[in-house]
Structure 1
Amino acid sequence: KSPQCTPDQHLQTQSETQGLESAQVTKPVEETLSSLSALLISATANPENVLIDALDRKVAFLVNFLLMKYRMKELVRKADIWKMIIQDDEDHFHEIFLRACEHMEMIFGLDVKEVDPTRHCYGISIKLGLTYDGMMHPPEGLPKTGLLILILAEIFMNDNCVSEEEVWKVLSKTKIYSGQMHFIYGHPKELVTKYLVMEKYLEYRQVADSDPARYEFLWGPRAHAEVRKMEILEFLARVHGTEPQSYPSQYEDALRDEE
């Protein structure tokens, strides 16, 4: 049974808590997305006209390389990263690789993990057991799972139901706006209210008795089938350097979900 949103009076009493929880969900994404946007643009620009740190440029090139390998469904060999990206910058390999993997995780919703320690090969997979990467939706070829995870986390952290206004307020902190084209997510409004609903990851419905009409989001059936709430909570706790138990109400909800 789908959970019901509380009345407006309850929403007002929860506003401070929601604001704190929303900030906890979006801050790592905001920082990473802002960084990645600058890096990807700068990495393809004329180096004579762009002053950018050499490490940042290599992080951006590695992100593009990893995305190419993901699209081709190929393993990533450490030797290829050395040859194509790192070259003579051996001392900074670990930093470059970790930062690129963070971008892949936070923005594209993809995990980069070593799958063959002997040959030093890495596989790239969608986070949290999701089976959707959004590459078929415009702009084609760019994974959009990061946005889906962000919205699912926002819903979960707000008692499993969140208003559309709150979703766009949260996304605006990461410079994702309803009516503005995004270099990764295309038309965000269309992606969120059409494609993610059509894929059954989100439920988008009118708030009961609202006039003028207001809308709210819940997890869709596909999200419930594929995602464990505890995984969402563990992910949020990890990026904030804390423990799932730091969010008592969500932790109890996640435990019930495990039963």
Structure 2
Amino acid sequence: MTQRKRLSNTQSSTQNREEDDDTTFTQPSTSQVQRGLEKVTPAQVDQKTAEVVQYFLVKDQKKMPVRRADIVKHVVKEYRNIYPEIMKRAAHTFDQVFGLKLVEIDAKSHTYILINKLETTDGASPINSPANPKMGLLFVILSVIFMKEGVVKENVIWNTLKKLRVDPGKKHEDFGDVKKVVTDEFVRQRYLEYVRIPHTEPVEHEFRWGQRAEIEVSKARILEFMGELHGLEPQSWSQQYREAHPASNTQPGTSSQR
């Protein structure tokens, strides 16, 4: 219980500190950017853009979101007065060279992630790759949350994983410390939200989908997976089907089943 309280307090203080860091930077206006570009060479802008692209790619290897404050502090530095131009060029590079899309997932803290445009376009999910066991674990957790209407107490997740022979209390050969992966790594990557439930003693937490999951993960694919698992049509879960297929809400047979 004490450890969980510390975790909750640490997450809160870290978030507050991150928000405070960003108050030192004000987004330059168009005219400020233009004046700034007049003071640097095209080669300098290209070099700084390349550094930002590299910074994102390194962070993306571990699916870590990137905050504006960190980009400015660690990469852009003295070029902060042309930050918008650098980011625009970096986004163009990701799009044209890597097939990636730069997405702001949190407008308040100005936090960005990279998503694969091809996977998003054809409806596939990067989480479905069998080559990455952690992503398979994440897909199972997100599936449970989605099927439980968006929020699940943590004991439900732990019990589900135990049924799959992944004991959160034991070190796993693929995942290592399972609880740390789920409550720390997946949370920092913004795939999951791990929220303390108010007025619970002992302290309880619940899981929700994170901002990255909302962008990257196909709810329709989850329903297909559940249908295959249970030998049912995806429409058997009417509420989830409507959420996964909003354009199909008016079709016959999609709203009468329970």
* TM-score of the two chains, using structure 1 as the length reference: 0.45
Larger Rg: 2
* TM-score of the two chains, using structure 2 as the length reference: 0.45
